[in-house]
Amino acid sequence: MKNFVFRNPTKLIFGKGTIASLGREIPEGRKIMVTFGGGSAKTNGVYDQVAAALAGRDYIEFWGIESNPKIETLREAVKICKREGVDFLLSVGGGSVLDGTKLIAAAIRYDGDPWDLVLDGRLIGEIVPFGDVMTMPATASEMNLNAVISNKATKEKFGMRVDYPRFSILDPQTTFTLPEYQRACGMADTFIHVMEQYMTVTGESPLMDRWSEGILQTLVEIAPKVLAEKDDYDVMADYMLCATMGLNGFIAMGVSEDWATHKIGHELTAIHGITHGHTLAIVFPGLLRVLKEQKKSKILQYGERVWNITGGSEDECIDRTIAATENFFRSLGLKIRLSEMGVGADTIAEIERRFNERGAAYGENGNVTGEVARRILEEVM
């Protein structure tokens, strides 16, 4: 097991009716900005619950943070915060709203362009505290310090590290109105979050392996119900907690990580606007095929423990394991080929160019370069 330092200060408040506790979590005397997405908070009843919990508090609202939050939108929010003296932020929505809120929190006390913080990947000055009410499971942004921000003008999308939410409120009832496609993409996103921390090498930590495999097995088990039984509280509670546990640092302790699938997926979103979780479902099987010799032992372990694949040669087991993974994504209703999404060879060439321009070398061995990214994408054409 590798050396590690672990810290996760987020207070997780989970369960039915927990939004009512919101007011107690924000210190008195704060000027609050509540951030929202496109309006679903008003149709699913969450807005009314938040408003009731904040009754008598000094707050303003900011609406319109998009999926794959755009710096152009966030700049406007930062201007308002500076003008109004906002000193606490509350995100209400999914991971994109929270990611955008994290960038706002980092930029309020910064005098330059907020995009500088994304490009630099570092923070300058004080980060305004923030919390959230999470309504869509996927990113685990509610219990990590990550944010991913897009630039519409340059068609770029990059991750950065900001800070942990002071608190996160998760009521699985808020997920009942989520469209099926969002549920599917959220499950794919969670699945690949786990894989980025698991699908590297064997033998580093049996505990982390079993923990990761438990999340994967649970996702496979509950996926049909998540899609079909949209108001089953227990099913959605398991789904919501899987998403949080998939990227809150717990399964990363002492093990190697990959993240090449995410880096490639971000480019597909930046160029074509494909939903983030969907890009991961497309890219990941290609990565397994191209790097199957490097990852052979872990693919075999994953195939046996998650898909019960044994018997036959190692190559046969690997092929069946990759096929099982693709079939899982298909079972979610997701397309898993670039051609099915209208993405052609020109996009593959552009992603290779971008990787080469940055000197990219991703993956646990630092060997996913522009050329390897091209091969991965060609596998899933």
Tens place of pLDDT per residue across the chain (381 aa): 999 999 999 999 999 999 999 999 999 999 999 999 988 888 889 999 999 999 999 999 999 999 889 999 999 999 999 999 999 999 999 999 999 999 999 999 999 999 999 998 766 678 999 999 999 999 999 999 999 999 999 999 999 999 999 999 999 999 999 999 999 999 999 999 999 999 999 999 999 999 999 999 999 999 999 999 889 999 999 999 999 999 999 999 999 999 999 999 999 999 999 999 999 999 999 999 999 999 999 999 999 999 999 999 999 999 999 999 999 999 999 999 999 999 999 999 999 999 999 999 999 999 999 999 999 999 999
Neighbours of 2 (CB within 10 A): 10
Domain assignment present for 306: yes
Are residues 277 and 305 part of one domain? yes
Q: How many domains does the structure of the chain reveal? A: 2
Are residues 144 and 56 part of one domain? yes
The answer to whether 274 touches 150, Cβ cutoff 8 Å, is: no
Domain assignment present for 2: no
User: Residue 219: what residue type?
Assistant: L
Q: Which of 114, 146, 174 is the last residue of a domain?
A: 174
Tell me which long-range contacts 236-241 makes (C-beta under 8 A, separation of at least 24). 236/137, 236/172, 236/173, 236/175, 236/176, 237/14, 237/15, 237/172, 239/137, 239/172, 239/175, 239/183, 239/186, 239/187, 240/14, 240/134, 240/137, 240/170, 240/172, 240/175, 241/14, 241/170
Alpha carbon distance 236, 137 (integer Å) = 9
Domain assignment present for 160: yes
Domain assignment present for 337: yes
Are residues 303 and 165 part of one domain? no
Structural domain for 343, as ranges: 179-379
CATH number for 70: 3.40.50.1970
Number of residues in the chain: 381
What's the pTM value of the predicted model, to 2 decimals?
0.95
